[in-house]
Chains A and B, each alone.
Chain A
Amino acid sequence: MTDSQITDLLKSGHAEEAFREMVAAYSEPLYWHVRRLTNSHEDTDDLLQEIFVKAWGALSSFRGDSQIKTWLWRIATNETLNFLRRQRLRAALSFKSLDAYEEQRIDEDPWFNGDDAERRLMKALSRLPDKQRLVFSLRYFDEMPYEEMSRVLGTSVGALKASYHIAAEKLRLDISDD
């Protein structure tokens, strides 16, 4: 079902059905998007639950002035950024540097099946500031157009392009230092 069909379902008062269609269309793509940021299958699973609970709660106020996907990704972005902030706090409380904490999570992830180059990329990605990490992931892995990303993140296309290129350059230097 397309976004406009889901929106039509919503407007005709079939909220539950619209929600289930949203879950069917976007739970998997959203999983992968969040997964690359959390470095944990279990945390991603928990986060997805929180994201869709929030989405269900906010569905009655969805006015259809944006696409369902944009609206959902906006909720997911906020929840994921909150998660990353809590990660930072958790790392500080265990007296570890955040970089070491994230690297350990990547090394110990039983569901990671990438090769060494991919592991180094994910570790370097985890060392980027949260917003740059988000922009790079959306552009490089999800291939999201800048215009759509601008609507999701509420940032101008120019700023996003700059952020992406800075992130890419940092990653290149970080990986080549390894």
Chain B
Amino acid sequence: MKGKNSYNVPDGYFASLEDRLGEIPRQEAGSWQRVRPYLALAAAFAAVVTIGTAILRLTASPATDDWAEDFAIAQLQPATAPDALFDSSLAESLAPTVTYDDIAQYLIETGVTIEELEDYETDY
């Protein structure tokens, strides 16, 4: 006994099998098309999260040890000496050091015109 003698198949089975299997390339292309938008969304989301995290890390101002130490010491000062809670050197270090040259440079770079400045002066 050899070959396929021990089995029957439904009538027309092999013809329909060939047709069904022949559809696989089209079916597989369709399923890929359905999944692709979701993959693109997921990739975009991952990119936003990665870039956003990188930007946040790069722009975060580093904490100074001095500030932490000053704060810790300030916490130890008695409440009856409130002035001692505030370190004048700390206040000075935090004060803006922007000069008029800095302001002028900023205005030039952002494209603010003389007319707009005049309007600002009269309005405010």
Q: Which of A's residues lie within 8 Å of B, judged by CB?
A: 15-16, 19-20, 23-24, 27-28, 31-32, 35, 41, 45, 48-49, 52-53, 56-57, 111-114, 117-118, 121-122, 140-141, 143
Q: Which of B's residues lie within 8 Å of A, judged by CB?
A: 1-10, 14, 17-18, 20-22, 24-25, 28
Contact A113–B7 (Cβ < 8 Å): yes
Residues in chain A near residue B6, CB distance under 8 A = 112-114, 118, 122
Contact B24–A35 (Cβ < 8 Å): no
Contact B18–A143 (Cβ < 8 Å): no
Of B7, B20, B22, B28, which is within 8 A of A111 by CB?
Answer: B7
State the Cβ distance, A73 to closest chain B Cβ, in Å. 16
Taking A35-B7, A53-B24, A141-B3 as known contacts, 5 extra A-B pairs with beta carbons closer than 8 A to each other, sorted by chain A number, are A27-B18, A32-B4, A41-B10, A57-B28, A118-B6
State the Cβ distance, A88 to closest chain B Cβ, in Å. 23
Separation of A117 and B2 alpha carbons in the complex (Å) = 12
State the Cβ distance, B86 to closest chain A Cβ, in Å. 70
Residues in chain B near residue A19, CB distance under 8 A = 22, 24-25
- Given known A41-B9, A56-B28, contact A49–B20 (CB-CB < 8 A): yes
Query: Looking at chain A's contact residues, is the secondary structure mostly helix, strand, loop, or mixed?
Result: helix
Chain B, Cβ-Cβ closest to A32: B4
Contact A140–B2 (Cβ < 8 Å): yes
- Given known A27-B17, A27-B18, contact A56–B7 (CB-CB < 8 A): no
State the Cβ distance, A104 to closest chain B Cβ, in Å. 17
Separation of A117 and B1 alpha carbons in the complex (Å) = 9
Contact B1–A121 (Cβ < 8 Å): yes
Of B1, B14, B28, which is within 8 A of A118 by CB?
Answer: B1
Contact B2–A28 (Cβ < 8 Å): no
Chain A, Cβ-Cβ closest to B28: A56
Residues in chain B near residue A45, CB distance under 8 A = 17
What 5 pairs across the A-B complex have the smallest Cβ distances? A114-B6, A23-B21, A32-B4, A118-B6, A16-B25
